[in-house]
Amino acid sequence: MGMEIMCFDLEGVLVPEIWINVAEQTGIEGLRLTTRDVADYDELMTYRLKLLDEHHLGIADLQRVIAGLRPLPGAREFLDWVRERFQVVILSDTFYDFAAPLMAQLGRPALLCHNLEIEDGRVTGYKIRLEAQKAAAVRAFQGLNFSVFAVGDSYNDTAMLLAADRGFLFNPPPNVVEQFPGLPVVRTYDELRAALVAASSRQIG
């Protein structure tokens, strides 16, 4: 197990898209946009923060939505299967201020993500850990002599997937598949499990 590491995106792979659920519960249609739609993460977050300010939504409103979310069906069981066979790290462009309830439901895997800037309950900005942190983390793990497998679903995952020894798009939208035709696509956890078994240098089952 020790020489192979699995890097997962979070939203759209293991848990629902947080911002889409915020949009559904607040009626703010603009918050439906995610990294599946907009390739430039800073552009997307700037737009989201503008909408939150215009509609007077604070961190408590967002956390209230997140508290009601559950992992995608089968995600916890699949993640438990992976953890018996690989080291596991979640590489996400979400925020620690959002993720804690979801991490608890997933058995608290290691999570590398970003931080929101909050003043008097208002979300005033965000602080990223590092530019292109997902791909940087993959290269760092490779520098530690790990073989890296990576799974994501959106534009902001593609650099990570291309940097990994083996990268997989999980149930991605057509626009992402079209722009990255060289990345293998899996649609279910069963398909992903089979792909990992086939790609691993070890006998796993």
Give Cα separations from 56 to 24, 49, 64, 119, 185 (angstroms): 16, 10, 15, 13, 39
Number of domains in the chain: 2
92 and 160 share one domain: yes
Give domain status of residue 52, yes or no.
yes
Mean pLDDT by 10 residues, the chain (205 residues): 87 95 94 90 93 95 93 97 95 93 94 96 92 95 96 95 98 94 97 92 62
Count Cα neighbours of 117 within 13 Å in the Cβ-side half-sphere.
Answer: 9
User: Is the domain of 82 the same as that of 28?
Assistant: no
> What pLDDT score was predicted for residue 203?
59
Do 51 and 91 reside in the same domain of the chain? no
The structure's pTM equals: 0.90
- Residue 24's domain comprises 18-67
pLDDT of 138: 98
Domain assignment present for residue 149? The answer is: yes
- Name the active-site residue from 9, 93, 97, 157: 9
Note whether 61 and 146 are same-domain residues: no
Which is catalytic among the residues 11, 17, 93, 157?
11
Give a yes or no: residue 118 inside a domain: no
Q: Tell me the pLDDT tens digit for each residue of 55-92.
A: 999 999 999 999 999 999 999 999 999 999 999 999 99
11 is catalytic: yes
The whole-angstrom separation of Cα 128 and Cα 42 is 10
117 is catalytic: no
